[in-house]
Amino acid sequence: MKSTAIPEWQADYADAALRCYQDGDTLFQRQRYPNATHLFGLAAECALKLLLEKIPGMQEIPHKHLPELRDDVLRMLSGRGNNGVRQLLNMEDYMVDWKIANRYWPRQAFSLSSCKTYRDHSRRTLHAVGIRGRL
């Protein structure tokens, strides 16, 4: 059996953020809240990693997830150009209770209400870092 080498791709956080948001929105429209919730969180994470990637001197993007990633971004942001992102991330309920481990949770752990919140926060995060597309 012939082995096919898988190329190592450079991270494209903007594309990944938009793709996760769009797929999450498709699932949201179909009332598939568990996986939609997960994808909205991943979209927000990718958008925040895009922001970190733009910081001069940033050597390596941390392999972290929300909420730890949020705290890292807040510590690293400076300048007036990031006021919108800081305000969003400082919201008391920003992606509250979203965890990377939610992909293992049972369906009954998810609700329309929380999924709507994650959808909104994800969309706002993409906008705040300048990702445009079908949002």
Task: Tell me the per-residue pLDDT of 70-116, one tens digit each, with 9 for 90 and over.
Answer: 998 998 887 666 788 999 999 999 999 999 999 999 999 999 999 99
The pLDDT of residue 9 is above 90: no
Residues 6+ apart with CB under 8 A from 20: 39, 40, 42, 43, 46
Tokens at 98, concatenated: 């979203």
* Type of residue numbered 26: T
Give CA–CA dist 2/103, Å, rounded. Answer: 33
Using DSSP's 3-state secondary structure scheme, residue 63 falls into coil
Q: How far separated are the first and last CA of the chain, in Å rounded?
A: 43
Residues 6+ apart with CB under 8 A from 73: 48, 51, 52, 85, 89
Average pLDDT of the segment spanning 118-125: 97
The pLDDT of residue 1 is above 60: no
Residue 125 burial by Cβ neighbours in a 10 Å radius (0-12, 13-18, 19+): buried
Domains detected in the chain: 13-54+62-128 (1.20.120)
